[in-house]
Amino acid sequence: MNATLAAFYPAHLAAVRRHADEALATGGCDHLLVAAGTPLGKFLDDQDYPYVASPHFKYWLPLTTAPGSWVVHTPGAKPKLVFVQPNDYWNVVPQTPSGYWVEHFDIVVVRSAAEALAQLPKGHNAIIAPDAAAGSVGLNPSPVLDYLHWQRSFKTPYELALMREANRIGTRAHRAAAAAFRAGKSEFDIHLAYLATARQTDAELPYGNIVALNEHGATLHYMTFDRTPPATHRSFLIDAGASCAGYAADITRTYAAPDAGEFQALIDRMDAAQQGFVAKVRTGQNYTALHLHAHHVIAEVLREHGFIRMNAESAVESGVTAAFLPHGLGHQIGAQVHDVAGFQVDEHGGRIEPPTGHPALRQTRTLAPGMVTTVEPGLYFIDMLLAKLREQPVAADIDWAKVDHFRQFGGIRIEDDVVCTEDAPENLTRDAFALAG
């Protein structure tokens, strides 16, 4: 893996530097200062929340445990890393940087965040930081951020290599979680099996795991982790990822118990639909149009399985499908799980709003080579949304007895990470599952 990364990294860094030059020119700035960020302190305590490096910092180099550090870029000069390595006996001190990337930076080691600030150049700076540690002047200027966010949408071969590895880690852990479900384990124990196989802590994962048994699958971000197994294991929805050098995998699968009957058939139908959506991740595909297409397909699934007695067009226009699929079809992914610029018009900013009735859609752009998107259709039986649907005139065209029977399964979500290429899409997640055997 390191040999692959070492081969790809120089071209990646050259692209990052070029984008930084262009962003600085757009913003009329002399230097780009990128903060790694610092841990967020807990209120009225001397402890911190788990540290997460800034995505802009991770974009430059594979360093995820460097709080207080900075990357300094000046056009025409070798990039500089101001690395904070404190004298500390309370906490583990970050190791001196090493590896395939260090030769590409001038590295200055300091002992405190304050000393790091003293190393930053003066002038008209563009400061990319989560707070005002370096002062408010030049902090996160929109012209610079908009340009950088737009460029971050297109992943380099180096970034794709990291995301392939994150998917390989995640799929191995997903297989362990599925085995734990089949063994009758609790949500908490399934989660522990996932962590043990991924060999990543909760804080190292790109987001909190969703491990939902039975009706808990109807809560989109269910993170309670019941310690006691349910009396009967009927269904299992797991939305869980993994990280590689700060780059994310975001994977969801849904499983049925052997005696779940039609619920397994519904999963199979949704899996086929999801793969159809993945096949449309092509250059020139507008993601809003793909999202709306997905709603029409989900309407057909509902009709085929006897949940509704109306055509797809009516089900979408009346909001019926939105009650069963209330979230967007997917989002961009990379150094952040919900990566930047999903709504952006171009490198100068702007916003393309989601369509009326679909406020949870997280990207509205047209796909282009190098973009990586999740594709995650769902079909859920959510009490609150179903109660509202019962009050609508279209309720007469819904088989409520069947809907009520399926409430015990919670819902279905299937999610892959997919690369838009010049040709057929690359499905990072399915490829990783195939390698896992």
- Token pair, residue 44, equals 């009225």
For residue 63, give the nearest of 47, 81, 77, 86 by alpha carbon: 81
Torsion angle of C-alpha atoms 286, 290, 291, 295, degrees rounded to 10: 150
CATH superfamily of 157-436: Creatinase/methionine aminopeptidase superfamily (3.90.230.10)
Tokens of 245: 């050098």
Q: Which one-letter amino acid corresponds to residue 345?
A: V
- Alpha-helical regions (H) of 45-98: 55-60
- Which pLDDT does position 69 carry in this prediction? 97
* pLDDT reported for residue 261: 87
Specify the pairing of strand 106-110 against strand 125-128.
Answer: unpaired
At 134 the pLDDT is: 55
Count of helix runs (H) and strand runs (E) in the chain: 13, 13
Fold of 2-152: Creatine Amidinohydrolase; Chain A, domain 1 (3.40.350)
The pairing of beta strand 210-213 with beta strand 247-256: unpaired
Please name the amino acid found at residue 63.
L
The alpha helices in 28-156, defined as continuous H runs, are: 55-60, 113-118, 142-152
Name the residue among 379, 164, 418 with its Cα closest to residue 277: 418
For residue 92, the model assigns a pLDDT of: 87
DSSP-derived 3-state class of residue 208? coil
Helix (H) or strand (E) holding 80: strand 80-84
DSSP type of residue 120: S
pLDDT along the chain (437 residues), means of 10: 94 98 96 95 93 96 96 98 94 92 98 94 92 67 97 98 98 98 98 98 97 98 98 98 98 96 96 98 98 98 97 96 98 97 97 96 98 98 98 97 98 98 97 92
pLDDT at 133: 57
Per-residue DSSP letters for 139-154? BS-HHHHHHHHHHHTS
Half-sphere exposure of 324 (CA within 13 A, CB side): 26
Q: Can you give the pLDDT at residue 132?
A: 60
| Cβ-contact 191, 174 below 8 angstroms | no
User: Are 308 and 403 spatial neighbours (Cβ–Cβ below 8 Å)?
Assistant: no
Delimit the domains of the chain by residue range: 2-152, 157-436
Question: What are the strands of the beta sheet with 80-84, ordered from one edge?
Answer: 106-110, 80-84, 70-73, 31-35, 125-128
Which tokens is 53 given?
């490096």
Q: Are 242 and 418 in contact (CB under 8 A)?
A: no
Q: In 10 A of CB 293, how many CB atoms?
A: 17
